[in-house]
Structure 1
Amino acid sequence: MAVTTATTTAVAVLRDWRGWPTVLGSLWRRSLRFRTLAVTLLATSLAILITCVTMALVIQNDLFVSRKNQALEDARRAVDVAQSTLDVAEVGDDPAALADLWNTIQAGFAQNSNADQLTGIRIDADANGVRLNGFTAGLSASLLSDGLRARVVEFDDRQAWQSVALPVEGGGEVPGIIVGQQVVVPEAGPFEIYFAYDLSDADQTLVFVQRTLWIAGIGLVAIVAAISWIVLRTVSTPIIQAAETSARLASGDLAVRLEVHGEDELATLGRSFNAMADSIEAQIKELGELSMVQQRFVSDVSHELRTPLTTIRLAADMLNDQRADFDPVTARAAELMHAQVQRFETLLSDLLEISRYDAGSVQLELEATSLAHVAEDVIEQMRPLADGHGTELRLVAPGGYSPVDMDPRRVRRVLRNLIGNAIEHGEGRPIVVTVDSNQHAVAAGVRDFGLGMDPADAERVFDRFWRADPSRQRTIGGTGLGLSIALGDATLHGGTLSVWSELGAGTNFVLTLPRHGTTLDGPSPVSVEPQDSLAELGDATQPLSLTDVRREMLDGGEAP
C-alpha cells in the first residue's frame, strides 16, 4: 500500500512540469547513480559539443580557403593566358583587328576558367586610343564593391577578391566569390576583369559535414550514456545493496548479510561488512544474555532478600520500640538500625520495580484522575518533611482539574520523588509546584531555587545510582533509583519527564501526560525552562487548599 501511494504521488508530480525541479533535486541528493550519470553526461556532452563546433569551424575555414585558392589560381591562369595572347598579338592600328582580338580574349576567359559569371570594365573609358567596350557574362557590376574595384585599379599586378551572395535563377542566392585582376589591351589600355565562382557545392559539403558531426556527437553521447549506465550499474549496485543492508542492520535485523561475488574490492568490502555484522550480532547477543542474567539476578536477589529482611525489620521495630529502656549508646544503635532497615526495604522495592521495567512486565492501572488533586494530595503528604527542612511548598494550578486516564499510584510516586528531591536540594527556599493543561496534555512542574546543576549533569540526572555531587549526603534516605523509575513511569504513560537546571538558579522538572491516547501530539502546557525568578513570583504562588481548588472549579470551571 505504501509503495502504491508513493508511486501514485511520484506520477502526479511528474505530470506537473513544475514538480520536475523538486524530483531532480531529490534524485541529485539521494541517488549516487543519478548524480554520477548526470555529471558524466554533462561533461561528455560539453566535450563533444566543443569538439564538434571546433571541427566544424576548422573544416569550414579549410574548405573556404581551399575553394578560394582554387578560384584565385583559376582566375590567374585565365588572365595570364589572355595577357600573353595580347602581348604577342600584332594588330597595328587596325581597329577591326583589335576588336576581333578582344572578342577572342573574351571567349578565352570563359574557356580557360571555371568561372560561372564574368564581367570586364574599361578602367579609363575617356582615355585616347582605340575604343573598346567592356563586356558582361552574367555578372552584374552592382555586385562589385567599391573597395574591390579600388584594389583592382590600384594594384595592376595583383589579384583582389571578395565574398558575395550570387543571385541564381528563381530569385535565390548562393554563396560565391569574385576575383578581380587587370588586363592591359594594346592601343586601348587596362581593363578590370572579374570572375565569379559559385561556392554552393562547398556549402553543401559543409552542411553535410556538420550534420554528420552532430549525428556522430549525439551518437557518442548515447553510447557514453549506455556505457556509463552499465558501468555504474555494475559498480553502484553492490554499494546500494550495502547501503540497504546496513540500514536493515541498523533497524535491528541482525541476520541480514551481503552477497559476496568475486575477489575484487567490492567483494572485500562485502566480506568485511559481513564480518562486522557477525561481530555486532555476537556482541549484542552476549550483551542481551548478560542483561538477562543481570535482570534475573537482581530480581532473584531482591525476592530472596525479602524473607530475611522481613525478619530483620520485625526485630528492628521491636528494638526501636523498646529503645527507651536501653542505655543511650544502645538506643542510638537501635534507632540507626531501624532507619537503615527501612532504607534497605525501600531499595529492595526500587530494585524490584526496576527489574520489572527491564523485563517489560509493568502494567498500568488506569483511572480517570485529576492531576491537580493528585498534586494537592502529594503536597499535603510532603508538607511535614518540607517543614522539617524549613521549606515552603506552593501550588500554582490554573488547570489540570479535568480527569485524565492515568495510573494515580505511579503519578503520585513520580511527584513524591520530584518534590522530595526538591526539598533535599532546595536549600530551604520555596518550592513551586505548577499544574496546568491544554487540549493535548496535562502537566505538573516542580521548581526549586537551590544549587542547580550544569548542563552535563542535567543530561545524566535520570541515570541509575548517579548523583551530581558524590560528596553530598542524602538527607531523606534516597536510593538513587527514584528519577530512573519516575522516567519509566512517565514513558509508560506515553508522556515525558523533562528537566531544566542551572547552577545557582535551581532546577525544574516537568511531568507531561497525554490527554488522549498513548502519545503526545502537542506542546506541554508547562514550560520546562521557567520564565520567572523567585523574586518575581512574589505572592502569586500562595499554596491552595483542596477546598480552594474545588471552590474555583465550582465558580469558574476549567477549560479542557
Structure 2
Amino acid sequence: MSDAARAGRLRAALVGLRFGSLRLRLVAVFAAVALTAAVSASGIAYWLNRDAVLTRAQNAALDDFRASMSRNVGSLPVDPPCDELQQAANRMAAGTQGYEVLLISTDADGNQCAATSDRDLFTLDEVPEALQKAVAKVRPLTAENRAGYHLYWQRTTVGGRPFLVGGAKMIGNGPTGYMYKSLDAERSDLSSLAWSLGIATALALIGAALLAQAAAGTVLRPVQRLGDAARRLGEGRLDTRLRVSGTDELAELSRTFNSTAEALQRRVEELSTREAASRRFVADMSHELRTPLTAITAVTEVLEDEADALDPMIAPAVRLVVTETRRLGDLVENLMEVTRFDAGTAKLRLDEVDVADMVTACIDARAWLDAVELDAPRGILVRLDPRRLDVILANLIGNALKHGGSPVRVTVRTERPADGPGELVVEVADNGPGIPEDVLPHVFDRFYKADASRARSEGSGLGLSIARENALIHGGTITAANRPEGGAVFTLRLPMPPDESADPESESEEGDR
C-alpha cells in the first residue's frame, strides 16, 4: 500500500471518529437504546424477583410461626409458668425456618414473663412499637372478622441487616408471641441476582455497540465511497463513477451521482472544446494580424519621420495613425502572450541577473528616469527569466505612472523568514488617489478598467493580468493594496533558493535614485 493510500485511510478513520460524525452518532443511539432497554428489563426483573423471593420467605416463615404458635402455645394454660413458656419458645425456635421467638405472658401470680429463644439477639426492644400496638389491638367480631386478634408482620433493618418481625396474640387472652427472622440469605440471593443483571446489561451494551458499529459500517460505507468519489470529481477526475448494487435509497443516490458526473463530464468537455477553439481562434487571428501589421508599422514609421514635412492639416491624422498602430501592435503581442499562458506553452529561460541592473534598464529603456525613484541595492543576484521580469516591471511601473501620482517609487529588497525560503520583494508605489475598494479584487482581471475612478487608460486591460501570469510562472505572486498615507502599492514576490541571495548592506548606498 502506498503512503498516499495509508494517509487517506488514516484521514478517513479520523474523520469517522470525529465527535459529531454520523458513525459516532449511530453507535451512541444504539448504545443509548440498548442501555435503556437493558436497564429497564433488568430493573423490572430485579423487582419482580425481589418481591417473589421476599414474599416466599416471608409467607413460609409466617405460616410456620402461626402453626407453631397453635401447636406449642395453644396447649399451655391461660397463665403459664415462665419455665413452660421458655420451653415453648425454644421448641418453636428449633423449627426449620430458623427464626427466633419471644413469648410474653403473665403467670398465676400476675407477674409478667418474657421468654426468648436468644436474649442476645431478640428482645422486645427489636419489635417496632407500631407492630406491638397492632398485635395487642382487639378487633371487633363481625361476619367478615371471626377472630379478635390477627397475625401482623413488618420488615425492618437492624445494624444494616434485614429482618422479618411478626407477632400474634393467642385467642382467649393467651400469650403474645413474636418471631424474628434474618433475611441475610435472601439479600445475598438478591445481590447475586443484581450482579448477574448488571453483567447482562453490560454485555447487552457491548453487543449493541458492536451491532451499531456493524450497522454503521454497512450504512456509511456507500456514503464514504460517495464522498471519495465526489472528492475525486472535485479534483478534476471527471470519469469517476460509483459501482451501483441494490435498489435501496443509497443505490438510487449512487445512480444520481453517476448521471450527474456524466452530465458534468459532457458539459466540461463541451466547454473545453469551445475554450480550445477560442484560444486557437485568438492565436490564429493574432498570428495572421502580425504580417499585415508589420507592413503597416513600417509605413507608419516612414510617415512619422515625414510628419513634420506634411501639410499641417494632415500631420495630426498621421500621428493618430502611428499611435493607434503601435497600440494595435501591443495588443496583438499581448494577445499572443495570453494565448501561450492559456495553452501552457509559456516557458522560462532562466539566467542569473542583478535585480538592480534589471530595474534600472527597464526604467531607462522607457525614459522613466525622471518620474521614478529607485531604491534597489546592488548585489541581489536572482536566477529568473530576464524578459519576463522586464514585462512585469514595465507593466507595474507603467500602470503606476498612468493611473497614480508622480513620483513613482520602486523598492527592491529580500526577505528570508526563519521557517521558509527567501523571497525577492519588489514594491511599486505611487502617490495617486489609490484604488477603490470595490476595484481591488479585479485589478488583475483581463480587460478590466476602472474608468470611473481613474483617468481613462489607453491600454488594453491586459497588462496587469500578464504581469501576474509572469509572476505565477516563476512561482511568485503579485498583490495590490492601498497605502495608509495615500496611493496604491503593487508588491511582487518571487521565491529565492537559499544560495541565490547576497548581503547587499555594503553596497546599499550605491543604489540608483
- TM-score, normalised to structure 1, is 0.75
Deviation at 1:203, TM superposition (A): 3.1
Aligned to 2:480: 499
Aligned to 1:353: 337
Deviation at 1:508, TM superposition (A): 1.0
Deviation at 1:312, TM superposition (A): 1.1
Aligned to 1:68: 58
Aligned to 1:405: 383
Q: Given that residues 396 and 490 in structure 2 are in contact (C-alpha distance below 8 angstroms), is that contact kept between their aligned partners in structure 1?
A: yes
Q: Given that residues 499 and 507 in structure 1 are in contact (C-alpha distance below 8 angstroms), is that contact kept between their aligned partners in structure 2?
A: yes
Aligned to 2:434: 452
SS at match of 1:257: coil
Matches within 5 A, 1:57-96: 57=47, 59-61=49-51, 63-65=53-55, 67-79=57-69, 84-86=74-76, 89=77
Aligned to 2:411: 434
Aligned to 1:179: 166
Matches within 5 A, 1:540-559: 553-554=506-507
Is the aligned partner of 1:335 residue 2:319?
yes
Q: How many Å separate the matches in 2 of 1:152 and 1:493?
A: 101
Q: Given that residues 86 and 115 in structure 2 are in contact (C-alpha distance below 8 angstroms), is that contact kept between their aligned partners in structure 1?
A: no
Provide, for residues 201-256 of structure 1, a one-character-per-residue CA deviation record: whole Å limited to 9, x for no partner.
Answer: 53354245334423432343344334323432322111111011111111121111
Q: How many Å separate the matches in 2 of 1:8 and 1:350?
A: 47
Aligned to 2:462: 481
Which of the residues 348, 360, 372 maps onto 1:393?
Answer: 372
Q: How many Å separate the matches in 2 of 1:454 and 1:143?
A: 100
Q: How many Å separate the matches in 2 of 1:320 and 1:298?
A: 30
SS at match of 2:166: strand
Q: Given that residues 153 and 167 in structure 2 are in contact (C-alpha distance below 8 angstroms), is that contact kept between their aligned partners in structure 1?
A: yes
Aligned to 1:542: none
Which of the residues 89, 109, 115 maps onto 2:92?
Answer: 109
Q: How many Å separate the matches in 2 of 1:54 and 1:556?
A: 93
SS at match of 2:465: helix
RMSD in angstroms over aligned alpha carbons?
3.9
Which of the residues 226, 246, 249 maps onto 1:262?
Answer: 246
Segment drifting more, 278-287 vs 493-502 = 493-502
Structure 1 residues 256 and 90, CA, compared in 2 at 3 Å: closer, same or farther?
Answer: closer
Structure 1 residues 66 and 311, CA, compared in 2 at 3 Å: closer, same or farther?
Answer: same
SS at match of 2:380: coil
Aligned to 2:34: 44
SS at match of 1:329: coil
Structure 1 residues 306 and 114, CA, compared in 2 at 3 Å: closer, same or farther?
Answer: same
Aligned to 2:146: none
Structure 1 residues 386 and 556, CA, compared in 2 at 3 Å: closer, same or farther?
Answer: closer
Structure 1 residues 377 and 46, CA, compared in 2 at 3 Å: closer, same or farther?
Answer: farther
Structure 1 residues 412 and 456, CA, compared in 2 at 3 Å: closer, same or farther?
Answer: same
Aligned to 1:536: none
Q: How many Å separate the matches in 1 of 2:398 and 2:249?
A: 61
Structure 1 residues 164 and 311, CA, compared in 2 at 3 Å: closer, same or farther?
Answer: closer
Aligned to 2:398: 420
Consecutive unaligned residues of structure 1, counting only runs of 5 or more, are 11-22, 167-172, 519-548
Q: How many Å separate the matches in 2 of 1:296 and 1:207?
A: 88
Q: How many Å separate the matches in 1 of 2:382 and 2:124?
A: 101
Deviation at 1:452, TM superposition (A): 2.2
Q: Given that residues 455 and 502 in structure 1 are in contact (C-alpha distance below 8 angstroms), is that contact kept between their aligned partners in structure 2?
A: no
Structure 1 residues 133 and 60, CA, compared in 2 at 3 Å: closer, same or farther?
Answer: same
Aligned to 2:101: 119
Which of the residues 252, 258, 262 maps onto 1:278?
Answer: 262
SS at match of 2:231: helix
SS at match of 2:327: helix
Corresponding letter in the other structure for 2:407: P
Q: Given that residues 164 and 182 in structure 2 are in contact (C-alpha distance below 8 angstroms), is that contact kept between their aligned partners in structure 1?
A: yes
Provide, for residues 95-146 of structure 1, a one-character-per-residue CA deviation record: whole Å limited to 9, x for no partner.
Answer: 8xx57864774476358x654133335467xx87177864443x34444473
Segment drifting more, 227-236 vs 243-252 = 227-236
Structure 1 residues 494 and 287, CA, compared in 2 at 3 Å: closer, same or farther?
Answer: same
Q: Given that residues 422 and 447 in structure 1 are in contact (C-alpha distance below 8 angstroms), is that contact kept between their aligned partners in structure 2?
A: yes
Structure 1 residues 370 and 54, CA, compared in 2 at 3 Å: closer, same or farther?
Answer: farther
Structure 1 residues 41 and 557, CA, compared in 2 at 3 Å: closer, same or farther?
Answer: farther
Which of the residues 119, 144, 148 maps onto 2:127?
Answer: 148
Identical columns (%): 29
Which of the residues 449, 460, 484 maps onto 1:467?
Answer: 449
Q: How many Å separate the matches in 1 of 2:280 and 2:411?
A: 39
- TM-score, normalised to structure 2, is 0.81
Q: Given that residues 105 and 114 in structure 2 are in contact (C-alpha distance below 8 angstroms), is that contact kept between their aligned partners in structure 1?
A: no
Q: How many Å separate the matches in 2 of 1:502 and 1:286?
A: 44
Q: Given that residues 64 and 202 in structure 1 are in contact (C-alpha distance below 8 angstroms), is that contact kept between their aligned partners in structure 2?
A: yes
Is the aligned partner of 1:163 residue 2:144?
no
Deviation at 1:431, TM superposition (A): 1.9
Structure 1 residues 58 and 374, CA, compared in 2 at 3 Å: closer, same or farther?
Answer: farther
Consecutive unaligned residues of structure 2, counting only runs of 5 or more, are 138-149, 417-421
SS at match of 1:405: strand
Structure 1 residues 412 and 129, CA, compared in 2 at 3 Å: closer, same or farther?
Answer: same
Provide, for residues 169-215 of structure 1, a one-character-per-residue CA deviation record: whole Å limited to 9, x for no partner.
Answer: xxxx98542334455897xxx75533233434533542453344234
Corresponding letter in the other structure for 1:227: L
Corresponding letter in the other structure for 1:370: D
SS at match of 1:505: coil
Structure 1 residues 517 and 35, CA, compared in 2 at 3 Å: closer, same or farther?
Answer: farther
Deviation at 1:509, TM superposition (A): 0.6
Aligned to 1:20: none
Aligned to 1:227: 211
Q: How many Å separate the matches in 2 of 1:26 and 1:152?
A: 64
Identify, as 1 or 2, the structure richer in helix: 1
Q: How many Å separate the matches in 2 of 1:418 and 1:226?
A: 65
Is the aligned partner of 1:237 residue 2:221?
yes
Structure 1 residues 201 and 24, CA, compared in 2 at 3 Å: closer, same or farther?
Answer: farther
Q: Given that residues 161 and 180 in structure 1 are in contact (C-alpha distance below 8 angstroms), is that contact kept between their aligned partners in structure 2?
A: no
Is the aligned partner of 1:129 residue 2:109?
yes
